[in-house]
Amino acid sequence: MRTVALHSLGCKVNAYETEGIQQKLQEKGYLIVPFDSRADIYIVNTCSVTNIADHKSRQMLHRAKKLNPEALVVAIGCYVETGREVLENDPDVDLVIGNDRKMKLPEIIEDVSTEQSPRHIVSTEPSPRHIPLTRTRSFIKIQDGCNRFCTYCVIPYARGRVRSREIPDIVSEVRDHVAAGCKEIVLTGIHISSFGTDRDGEEMIPLLKELNTIDGLRRIRLGSLEPAYVTPEWVGQAKEIDKLCAHFHLSMQSGSETVLKRMNRHYTPEEYYEKVCMLRDAFDDPAITTDTIVGFPGETEEEYEETYDFVRKVGFYELHVFKYSRRDGTPAARMPDQIPEREKHARSEKLISLGKELSLAYRRRRIGTTAEVLTEEVRDINGRKYMCGFTPEYICAAVSPENPSNTLITGVLDELLTDETVTLK
């Protein structure tokens, strides 16, 4: 059996995509192994959000070749768009696959592996139709690109302007996944709040309504949302979509008004908090998750403390903390008062620890409530086997291992098995 090791750098979108690619490869019979072991194929989903991200992407590719000089080393992701030439000339990289061909990766790997010597592939062909899959959760990319130009981000340059897929095309893909057994979909993209804005405007609600009618599909999860996008009208319509999970990743980046301004994010912490309250009023204690950047240029101790206090005030279920690092070509890279690495590290550690505390508080708060878990796989926890899955709020819940996977089980969240897992009775 051929072994594949995958590594994802950067944002949540990359992590989601990597998980999707991994599942496709598993279904094709590949064995997934840890990245630091010897594998036949290494796939690095690169990131290009900063110069350091570029560097780390190259490092991971080189590391892969060192681990097994005979392996096929594949680069995908944003750095392929910004550093294509560097990668094409890198002797350690065998395959360079553009974002538009990424989902076709398993087929491309199969084609290339049968050749005597691998060759570089950089394609600009339109995205191929996704292949139906059999799994619990499928990741459906509904758009690409972003028009926002946050001052720290290279994505609008790397991935271009917003391009949304057609609703019938998405619906048909979801139907294929459901026919193959999938019960939950996650709508992903670079900026899904912009879905449809490259055509006539807001199209997310029409899409959700249509997906909601698909028999056999039980859950729809949103990858992430922009605060400005969440309005009373949107929330009013969204809460009527009964398959929509009460899990909202509401992009924040900073809890300081002045830092948000320098980031070119068009909201204040107060406005952000209003959106959180809207979601909490409409849904039953939804899971609110977010990303935050610490050490943005000029971030004073006071501004950092504002973020820290704001994170506590919101009470996020999950907090992804990123240390700011420069990205050439972005306005933030030229801003004065770059924060020393040591200081960024200290700020990040403190916030990560707050994030863990809040996450645990949310799980604890949910104990005693009724929840529905969609089972996924058997895991070994504290020396015992459990069938684990996730609730709509993305709480990892454990039931007895005799339960089959890909099944919805309703019960009461009982007790913490670990800080991350709750039993369901």
Residue closer to ligand SF4 (CB basis): 35 or 267 = 267
Residue closer to ligand SF4 (CB basis): 82 or 136 = 82
Instruction: Judge whether 185 and 217 are in contact, CB under 8 Å.
Output: yes
Residue closer to ligand SF4 (CB basis): 66 or 161 = 161
* Closest CB 256 distance from ligand SF4, rounded Å: 16
SS (H, E, C) 229-294: HCCHHHHHHHCCCCCECCEEEECCECCCHHHHHHCCCCCCHHHHHHHHHHHHHHCCCCEEEEEEEE
Residue closer to ligand SF4 (CB basis): 155 or 207 = 155
Residue closer to ligand SF4 (CB basis): 190 or 399 = 190
* Closest CB 116 distance from ligand SF4, rounded Å: 40
The 8-class DSSP code of residue 317 comes to S
Residue closer to ligand SF4 (CB basis): 48 or 423 = 48
* Closest CB 223 distance from ligand SF4, rounded Å: 12
Residue closer to ligand SF4 (CB basis): 39 or 146 = 146
* Closest CB 134 distance from ligand SF4, rounded Å: 31
In angstroms, the Cα distances linking 185 to 174, 178, 377 are 8, 9, 17
Name the residues that contact ligand SF4, by CB under 6 A. Answer: 146, 148-150, 153, 155-156, 190-191
Residue closer to ligand SF4 (CB basis): 152 or 362 = 152
* Closest CB 106 distance from ligand SF4, rounded Å: 27
* Closest CB 57 distance from ligand SF4, rounded Å: 17
Residue closer to ligand SF4 (CB basis): 136 or 348 = 348
d(CA 188, CA 142): 6
Closest CA to 41 of 2, 13, 7: 2
Q: Determine the 3-state secondary structure of 7 from DSSP.
A: strand
Buried b (16+ CB within 10 A) or exposed e, 254-276: bbbbebbebbebebbbeebbebb
d(CA 286, CA 29): 37
* Closest CB 288 distance from ligand SF4, rounded Å: 18
d(CA 317, CA 245): 14
* Closest CB 194 distance from ligand SF4, rounded Å: 8
Give bridge partners of residue 209 from the DSSP assignment.
none
The 8-class DSSP code of residue 362 comes to H
* Closest CB 207 distance from ligand SF4, rounded Å: 20
Q: Using alpha carbons only, give the angle 404, 409, 411 rounded to the nearest 5 degrees.
A: 135
d(CA 157, CA 145): 9
Q: Give Cβ neighbours of residue 319 (< 8 Å, ≥ 6 apart).
A: 289, 290, 291, 292, 311, 351, 352, 354, 355, 358, 359
